[in-house]
Structure 1
């Protein structure tokens, strides 16, 4: 069921704005109490970056998602969302979750628990937002020159970032010397989906 149909006629809920990207939503300057965030947006942005941008705007976030991989859910949970609710959940459950989140209460679901419990106990390399963006693109198979074009950075800067990323991982005992190892670190940290658990 779509969000419009779900909220239509509900006495305590109103859908004020919709957008395919976070930037598009914020440009509308709508009065919002809560953002229902899909993990896969049309611009290919990462969940933790979207959550951070919405929180900076003072907007709490509830993830409203389909059958995404656990790595994406884990990224959102790490970023501090109020909860995770499936689009396939019963309508009454979704409405209750929205009402709770709108009042600032955490929405504890099995998806939330699975994301937390499944988080590997690995030391944080402390990568910056920009470094995470470069790592996600490069580790997904892009060449440095292509990463530079996609991010608006110079190829020299991208290579400098990759060197810093490798050094940060090495400093916490997580080798990232090769592109394969960088891919493994990106999967471990939830930036990329792993190949061993194909989606439904």
Structure 2
């Protein structure tokens, strides 16, 4: 808190909220590295780590963000792990050396919030965790490459009206504001959104959240890929 009693902002979260972090990696040295990075920041807490998602959840499910290695010795896939954590409302950030693009694409399809390279700077890692802790996408070139290079991202055919609803809503609009922009009732916008979600579900690309809708709009070119700069961190 500052001298007026207001929470002090550090990056993307405030110091009166601690982002509870878990880490899944079957090598100990990356865990030590993340532990060293986070221990100096009061708004981030490494709660526990484990070599598998199952082992991690046995230790704690009270987590906000899990830093997830792509290749684990238990034979699980990134998609399985991201989905398992998502069922508990725990978001993921993939932490990888980047040499397995097929695994990156699997995680991207499952809805991970982003990808951070193990060679990334300390500031980039902190920004990624804080962004994920706030429910924001971790917009890196690696995440964009995983999407762009995925031949299994089946295209979804949207009418011009559905495209407009998707872009307006995914850009931060509400049903009311989108309806006002398009000259239709909010209930009509909600029906359009149901159609859009169903079309993506039929293509095997679920949209459980508004962030998912944003990502689908970026993937299919309805919205441009945002660019993070160091000034955004």
TM range (shorter): 0.5 to 0.7
Find the partner of 1:94 among 113, 122, 125: 125
- Find the counterpart in structure 2 of residue 34 from structure 1: 65
**Structure 1 residues 70 and 27, CA, compared in 2 at 3 Å: closer, same or farther?**
same
Q: Contact conserved, 1:7 with 1:13, CA < 8 A, in 2?
A: yes
Q: Contact conserved, 2:48 with 2:60, CA < 8 A, in 1?
A: no
Is the counterpart of residue 43 in structure 1 residue 39 in structure 2? no
Q: How many angstroms apart in 2 are the aligned matches of 1:30 and 1:115?
A: 28
TM value normalised by structure 1: 0.59
Q: Contact conserved, 1:36 with 1:64, CA < 8 A, in 2?
A: yes
Q: Contact conserved, 2:97 with 2:118, CA < 8 A, in 1?
A: yes
Tell me the number of residue pairs that the alignment of Structure 1 and Structure 2 aligns.
124
Find the partner of 2:95 among 46, 64, 69: 64
Q: How many angstroms apart in 1 are the aligned matches of 2:61 and 2:151?
A: 38
Q: Contact conserved, 1:17 with 1:30, CA < 8 A, in 2?
A: no
SS state at 1:85 partner: strand
Is the counterpart of residue 53 in structure 1 residue 123 in structure 2? no
State the 1:122 CA deviation.
Answer: 6.7
- Find the counterpart in structure 2 of residue 10 from structure 1: 41
Structure 1: 5+ residue stretches without partners: 125-200
SS state at 1:17 partner: strand
Structure 2: 5+ residue stretches without partners: 1-29, 156-233
TM value normalised by structure 2: 0.51
**Which one has more relative contact order, counting CA pairs under 8 Å at least 6 apart?**
1
Query: CA deviation digits over 1:12-33, x for unaligned, max 9?
Result: 1110010100100111124211
Q: How many angstroms apart in 1 are the aligned matches of 2:145 and 2:61?
A: 33
Higher strand share: 2
RMSD, matched Cα: 1.7
